Structure 1
Amino acid sequence: MPQFTLPRTVRLTRTHKVSAALVATAGCAAALAFTAAPGNAGTTTAADAPAAVKPVSANGMPLTAKDRGDDGKQARAVASSVAAGLKAAPAEKPHHAADQAANRSIERKALVAPKAAPKAPKATPKRYANNLDGWIRESLDIMKDKGIPGSYEGLHRNIMRESAGDPNAVNDWDINAINGVPSKGLLQVIQPTFDAYHVSGTPHKLTDPIANITAAANYAADRYGSIDNVNSAY
């Protein structure tokens, strides 16, 4: 079998494997490198040891001075471009997979409708008895909301002295009656006083039980500090 002779003669046996890498650039010669590796390390002798192979051009001829002057820069540039292209290409797959995973996540969220928050139960309006006890209690709640001082005992005591609990009671004999502005209602309030101390949110009617009590308590708070401090005509 004929043997292949390289510059600086090296004889390759059948036990050696030959690998070659051909790197070329457009319009330029490439370098071809051979490396010889023993196929069976156990039987290799000193005579069979591979020797360095002199680079040759693509046509098998030794490299010219121009080729050697390149000093392998073009070959390395091409190899780097190829390697960069190979590394960049697979990166698209994870990115695509991440987009698909994100889209599936959005689709799952869209399919699951958010639960509506439970509506708070509407507060049931407080009911008061339509009698003296109910009128006093409702008046106290309004007074508390408006910041008007007074207690159940203070209101009840003065109501019983002034009208005995009659919301339509009218005083037609005192000085106010003589002056044409008789005292009226549970706490015997005259119209000018009622108009000046009327509490918003209550009927603007002098003899209305709630309006009469809250206006009188508002007046007493202004004059005496609280309806609780009133123990006689005021």
Structure 2
Amino acid sequence: MPQITNIRSRARSLTKTQKLSAACCAGLGVATLAITATPSEAQTTTHEAAAVASAPVNIGNQPVKNIKVNVTDQKAASMLKAEAIAAKKQAADQAAKKLSAEKAAQQRGAEQAASRSAERAPVRQSAPRSYNNNLDGWIRQSLDIMAQKGIPGSYNGLYRNIMRESSGNPMAINNWDINARNGIPSKGLLQVIDPTFRSYHVSGTSWNIYDPVANITAACNYAAHRYGSMDNVNSAY
């Protein structure tokens, strides 16, 4: 009992400042014990969020990560398919262009070959026309030469005047008319005098006045200049 009384008396002897210090120390100790014994709410929430984040999320029976991979694979496959189609179209276009160019080259080659062949083709010359050695043949040959030289005349006009002048005799000669008396008798089928024959001779024919073709063409050339055509002659000319 004396001891207890002594303690109380000591307690009563503590100053006010000492009492406050003791109270503070006691409170800090309790708080430390509380913090050590129970984890904070913030720490609990952080651990739970980390656990949720680390856990895979499923849609149906398939994880979201796997779905993303599948979508990426599908896009890649679609891109590859589109690229393959584009490459195939490009190859087809190139093949078509190549074929068109080859056809054009073949056509040009064929045209050039045809052109060269046409250039090298020998000019086919018509065989010389043959004429009978008679009045009909002489008239026809004379008409062909006259056509080439632009001398007018017809078969009937030549034949009619020949028959009147010489009766178709190429060696006929007139020794009695005025020309004969002047020393230049008329000769041949169309009774041409030498000066007239020489003046109106047609190139390509004989210079012999008795040659039937030369005589006819020279006489027709003269008649064309003086009368317009042998067809217009109906008497001595």
Task: Provide the TM-score with structure 1 as the length reference.
Answer: 0.53
Verify: 1:147 aligned to 2:150, yes or no. yes
Report the counterpart of residue 134 of structure 1 in structure 2: 137
RMSD, aligned CA: 4.6
Q: Identity rate of aligned residues, in percent?
A: 53
Verify: 1:218 aligned to 2:221, yes or no. yes
Alignment of 1:12-161 (within 5 A): 12-13=56-57, 15-18=62-65, 37=68, 94=91, 123-161=126-164
Report the counterpart of residue 187 of structure 2 in structure 1: 184
Deviations 1:118-175 (A, max 9, x none): 9887534322110111111221222233332222222122212222222122223333
Q: What is the CA distance between 1:216 and its match in structure 2? A: 0.6
**Matches of 1:190 and 1:109 in 2, distance apart?**
66
Cα distance, 1:225–1:109 mapped onto 2, change above 3 Å: closer
Q: What is the CA distance between 1:225 and its match in structure 2? A: 2.0
| Comparing 100-109 and 218-227, the one that deviates more | 100-109
User: Unpaired segments of 5 or more residues in structure 1?
Assistant: 20-35, 40-85
SS at 2:175 equivalent: coil
Q: Which has the higher helix share?
A: 2
Cα distance, 1:192–1:17 mapped onto 2, change above 3 Å: farther
Q: What is the CA distance between 1:227 and its match in structure 2? A: 1.3
**Matches of 1:153 and 1:106 in 2, distance apart?**
59
Deviations 1:71-96 (A, max 9, x none): xxxxxxxxxxxxxxx89x959x8387
**Matches of 1:109 and 1:231 in 2, distance apart?**
64
Q: What is the CA distance between 1:183 and its match in structure 2? A: 1.9
For residue 174 of structure 2, the aligned residue among 171, 190, 206 is 171
**Matches of 1:201 and 1:101 in 2, distance apart?**
60
AA aligned opposite 1:18: K
User: Unpaired segments of 5 or more residues in structure 2?
Assistant: 1-49, 71-82
Cα distance, 1:143–1:107 mapped onto 2, change above 3 Å: closer
Verify: 1:197 aligned to 2:200, yes or no. yes
Report the counterpart of residue 230 of structure 1 in structure 2: 233
Q: Which has the higher strand share?
A: 1
Task: Tell whether the 8 Å contact from 1:16 to 1:38 is kept in structure 2 after alignment.
Answer: no
Cα distance, 1:202–1:17 mapped onto 2, change above 3 Å: farther
**Matches of 1:135 and 1:38 in 2, distance apart?**
109
**Matches of 1:104 and 1:231 in 2, distance apart?**
73
**Matches of 1:165 and 1:104 in 2, distance apart?**
71
Matched residue pairs, number?
168
Cα distance, 1:152–1:18 mapped onto 2, change above 3 Å: same
